[in-house]
Amino acid sequence: MIELKGIEKVEKIINNFTAQFGVTAMFDTEFEAFCDEKKVGYTLIGTSESNGNFIEDAVKRYPEVNADIFLWALMHEIGHCLTDYQWTEAEKEYFWMQKDAISESEVDWEYMNTWYHAIPDEFAATQWAGEFMRNHPKKMARFWKKLQKALMDMYNENGLLGE
């Protein structure tokens, strides 16, 4: 992974926020949850088609939540860590089998995405995220404002904004 100047400040802001949930965050190549470790990975680049479908699903379920895809994805991964306890190991294995079947499927991507977001652990993680953001809009707005400033500083420091 490339070394970005200023990523430490971004990570500190994110970890100060995630600490309230007992979760730590790390800069990674994708958004993902490591539930046993209470850790989430986050990325600053989200270009896959699944991101668009993820946000479409989240916004459809929580139209009153005003959040960027980064916030939705981060909160969704935190949601995985905080809802993971409710599944047995057999259920978790079944969910992974479903996800593998989806990735190997040759059906329409939109159908696959709908199927994916209906898997109970995915549904619960998005539900947790949506409910938290719905119930704490000011906290989310303060976090996003602080994070955006740090991101813009980092982009400037690395010459990523152009002239």
**Beta strands at 32-34 and 39-42: parallel, antiparallel or unpaired:** antiparallel
User: Dihedral angle at the C-alpha atoms of 64, 132, 75, 22, nearest 10 degrees?
Assistant: 170
Within a domain: residue 162? no
| Residue 38, SS3 per DSSP | coil
* Local confidence pLDDT in tens for the 163 residues of the chain: 567 888 999 999 999 999 999 999 999 999 999 999 999 999 987 655 445 577 888 888 999 999 989 999 999 999 999 999 999 999 999 999 998 888 777 777 677 777 888 899 999 999 999 999 999 999 999 999 999 999 999 999 988 776 5
Within a domain: residue 2? no
Within a domain: residue 141? yes
Within a domain: residue 148? yes
Within a domain: residue 79? yes
**How does 75-96 read in b/e, with b if 16+ C-beta sit within 10 Å?**
bbbbbbbbbbeebeeeeeeeee
Q: Are 148 and 79 in contact (CB under 8 A)?
A: no
Count of structural domains, the chain: 1
Within a domain: residue 149? yes
Domain that holds residue 19: 7-157
Give the total residue count for the chain.
163
